[in-house]
Structure 1
Amino acid sequence: MKIFVSSVMNGFEEFREAAFAAIRSLDHDIVRAEDFPASTSSSRVACLQGVREAELVVLILGERYGWSDTRSGLSPTHEEYREAVTDGKLIPFVQTGVDREPAQQSFVDEVEDYDTGMHRGRTFATAEDLRTEITRAISRHQLSAATSPVDVPAMVRTARDLIPEEERGLVRMTGPLLHLSVVGGPAQTIIRPSEIEDQKMIDGLVANLSAESGYFTYRLRTEPRLEEGALLIEQESGALFRIDEAGSMLLSVPIEQASGHIKPIIEENVSAAMDQALIVADSMLEKFDRTQKLTRVVTAADIGTNGVFGWRTAREQASSPDSIQIAVERSSSGPALLNPPDRTRMALRAERDRLVADLLALLRRRYRT
């Protein structure tokens, strides 16, 4: 396994050597800036490419932030962190008992906020502490990967299948819906059959979905039911939440309708619905999978439009609310999926803004033309 070591270099040699020793002791390949050959690429490109090619990134944070006179204003270590965290292959280690520079403390706060308990506790005081902690962490990572393979193609199939297909000519009186499916892996039972039928648990879910952070309304009747081993909770507005024993979810969120006689899909309203759906999905995973057995997620999104309404920004609708050019028919090519389709489970929270922006762009391409 290729393991990239990310940290400041000057004055931190003792700790980097401890990390290298830990990696060597487990017979893995070390990827480090010290070994990069001369190249026509910049040092920044070379380091970020090293992160991309590595299967695991060990991030070591001490008291110094490092050089930050870069185009992004971030230190090389901070940029490497941002690159690695997107792919979910990061293990950070934070030094204790040191007086951190303000920029470094902000960096540590960002890392620990992302972890939300996933990596917290991986701290060290001495080089020997660091070597021990890195050895343990890599061993645990290998064990988890060996015993719990993630079948991404199967996750994609499930995510696609969860998105409902509307029948041609269907008339919905409740307006458009955002459909978002979230499927976790590796595949396993997250909710026991007895739990998914428990009325107290169902009542708690209804309360959560009807709270301020949810997308149900307490003013409408809510109907929970079991269907093929999955729990479905639905309202007359079309709002729906579905979860099965594997933790796979479908969230159907009403999209606020445009004003005026012509009612196209308003981009900002889709974005708001997407953001709300991801918040709820993340909270549901935390509720049912507190020990984080699910490490990766695939998300798929589509819009139930009840026909063709067109797509506009709020500004475009305000300037011309009673006329719009729309396509006569939209070809159906299935729900929108990211490329690659899977992300780290924590991306639902740490990368939510990026997920919303990317899924929104994919839906815009489909519905605007």
Structure 2
Amino acid sequence: MRIFVSSVMAGFEEYREAAFAAIQSLDHDIVRAEDFPASTIPSRVACLQGVREADLVVLILGERYGWSETQSGISPTHEEFREAAAEGKVVPFVQSDVSREEAQQQFVEEVEDYDTGMHRGQTFRTPEELRTEVTRAIARYQLSAATTPVDVGALVEKARSTIPVEERGFVRMTGPLLHLAVVGGPTQTILRPSEIEDQSLLDGVVADLSSADGYFSYRRRTEPHLDHGALVIEQENGAALRIDEAGALLLSVPIEEATGHLKPLIEEHVGQAIEKGLTFADKMLEKFDRTQRLTRIVIAADIATSGVFGWRTSSQQAASPNSMQIAMDRSASGPVMLNPPDRTRMALRSERTRMAEDLLALLRRRYRS
């Protein structure tokens, strides 16, 4: 593997050398800023390219935050962390028994955040302890990565086929729905048939769907059933969740309807539904795949729009709720997907906002054009 070491450099040399020694002892290639050749590209770009090209990033945090008068306003180490975290390939090491600068303490808190951060191992005090911890972490990472290769093409095809296709002439009476498919790999059994039929599991999922983080209405009747071995839970307004034995999810999230006689899609309402769906998908994957056997995900999104025409922002709708121009070219069909379509499992949490923004932009292009 190619392993990038990210930390402050000045005054931290012996700790960096300890990390280098751990990587070398396991016969991996070290990627470090000290070895970068002279180049015409900025140092920031060179470092971030090093992170992107690495298979793993070892992040070492001590008491100093480092230089922050950068284009991004954060230190190079902080920026390298965020780049690596988006790909789910960073292992952090935090020094203990030191007095951290305020910015560094905030950085450590971001890294260790329970919901969006990374799980770190033991803290270290000395270079020797750091070397031991880095060696252990890399060995564990190798074992966890030694899984069946991910067939991205198969995940893409499954995500596309999971999105339901509306019948021609069908008129939805209860408002538009966002269909969001989240398919993970490598393909394996995440839920056994007996678990899918377990009443306590069903009750727990229904409770989650009806909670503040869910998208079901507690006022509506909930109907569960099996469909080709998958558990389907739905309500009469179209809200639904489908999960199969491989952990593939289909979330059908109601989109708030526009006011007025015309019922266009309201951009802000679509965005809220996407954010709600991605957040709940992450919650379900954590519920059923706590050890993250699914390492990559593919996301597909579409909107059931029968009886809905046009796309507007809320301000445009408020200004003219009863008249608008409607684009009738509906030649584009099928769900939208990100490019590249596959992302790390961690991205569903760490990059959720960016993915939601991109999915919204792709849907906007389709329904507003």
Q: Shorter-chain TM-score category?
A: over 0.9
TM-score, normalisation: structure 2: 0.96
1:223 matches 2:209: no
Q: Which residue of the partner structure matches residue 103 of structure 2?
A: 103
Q: Which residue of the partner structure matches residue 362 of structure 1?
A: 362
Q: Which residue of the partner structure matches residue 199 of structure 2?
A: 199
Once the two structures are superposed, what CA deviation does each residue of 1:82-137 show, in whole Å capped at 9, x if it has no partner?
11111111111111111111100100111111676852324222111111111122
Q: Which amino acid aligns with 1:363?
A: L
Q: Which residue of the partner structure matches residue 76 of structure 1?
A: 76
Q: Which residue of the partner structure matches residue 45 of structure 1?
A: 45
Q: Which residue of the partner structure matches residue 64 of structure 1?
A: 64
Single out whichever of 263-272 and 345-354 deviates more from structure 2. 345-354
Deviation at 1:151, TM superposition (A): 2.2
CA distance in 1, matches of 2:211, 2:88: 31
Q: Which residue of the partner structure matches residue 13 of structure 1?
A: 13
CA distance in 2, matches of 1:154, 1:53: 25
Deviation at 1:307, TM superposition (A): 5.1
CA RMSD of aligned residues (A): 1.5
CA distance in 2, matches of 1:204, 1:119: 26
Q: Secondary structure at the match of 1:272?
A: helix
1:88–1:343 contact (8 Å) kept in structure 2: no
Once the two structures are superposed, what CA deviation does each residue of 1:257-277 show, in whole Å capped at 9, x if it has no partner?
000111100000001111111
1:239–1:252 contact (8 Å) kept in structure 2: yes
Q: Secondary structure at the match of 2:146?
A: helix
Once the two structures are superposed, what CA deviation does each residue of 1:263-320 show, in whole Å capped at 9, x if it has no partner?
1000000011111111211111121112222222221111110155111100111111
Q: Which amino acid aligns with 2:152?
A: V
1:61–1:93 contact (8 Å) kept in structure 2: yes
Q: Which residue of the partner structure matches residue 153 of structure 2?
A: 153
Q: Which residue of the partner structure matches residue 176 of structure 2?
A: 176
Q: Which residue of the partner structure matches residue 252 of structure 2?
A: 252
Deviation at 1:202, TM superposition (A): 1.0
Once the two structures are superposed, what CA deviation does each residue of 1:36-58 show, in whole Å capped at 9, x if it has no partner?
11111111111111111111111
Q: Which residue of the partner structure matches residue 323 of structure 2?
A: 323
Once the two structures are superposed, what CA deviation does each residue of 1:222-263 show, in whole Å capped at 9, x if it has no partner?
110001110000111000100011111000001000001111
> Cα 1:61–1:50, aligned 2, differ >3 Å: closer, same or farther?
same
1:169–1:307 contact (8 Å) kept in structure 2: no
Q: Which residue of the partner structure matches residue 143 of structure 1?
A: 143
Q: Gaps (5+ residues) in structure 1?
A: none
Q: Secondary structure at the match of 2:113?
A: helix
Once the two structures are superposed, what CA deviation does each residue of 1:136-186 show, in whole Å capped at 9, x if it has no partner?
222222222223422222221111111111122111111110011111222
Single out whichever of 116-125 and 311-320 deviates more from structure 2. 116-125
Q: Gaps (5+ residues) in structure 2?
A: none
> Cα 1:91–1:148, aligned 2, differ >3 Å: closer, same or farther?
farther
Deviation at 1:188, TM superposition (A): 1.5
CA distance in 1, matches of 2:79, 2:32: 15
Q: Which amino acid aligns with 1:173?
A: M
TM-score, normalisation: structure 1: 0.96
Aligned length: 369
Q: Which amino acid aligns with 1:347?
A: A
Deviation at 1:26, TM superposition (A): 1.4
Q: Which amino acid aligns with 2:336?
A: A
1:114–1:350 contact (8 Å) kept in structure 2: no
CA distance in 2, matches of 1:152, 1:275: 24
Q: Which amino acid aligns with 1:10?
A: A
CA distance in 1, matches of 2:34, 2:240: 53
2:23–2:29 contact (8 Å) kept in structure 1: yes
Q: Which residue of the partner structure matches residue 239 of structure 1?
A: 239
CA distance in 2, matches of 1:262, 1:169: 19
Q: Which amino acid aligns with 2:253?
A: V
> Cα 1:116–1:72, aligned 2, differ >3 Å: closer, same or farther?
closer
1:308–1:326 contact (8 Å) kept in structure 2: no
1:336–1:362 contact (8 Å) kept in structure 2: yes
Q: Which residue of the partner structure matches residue 288 of structure 1?
A: 288
> Cα 1:122–1:180, aligned 2, differ >3 Å: closer, same or farther?
farther
CA distance in 2, matches of 1:311, 1:122: 51
Q: Secondary structure at the match of 2:353?
A: helix
CA distance in 1, matches of 2:67, 2:117: 29
Q: Which residue of the partner structure matches residue 353 of structure 1?
A: 353
1:241–1:252 contact (8 Å) kept in structure 2: yes
Q: Which residue of the partner structure matches residue 4 of structure 1?
A: 4
1:265 matches 2:258: no
Q: Secondary structure at the match of 2:225?
A: strand
CA distance in 2, matches of 1:102, 1:150: 41
1:187 matches 2:187: yes
CA distance in 2, matches of 1:146, 1:112: 25
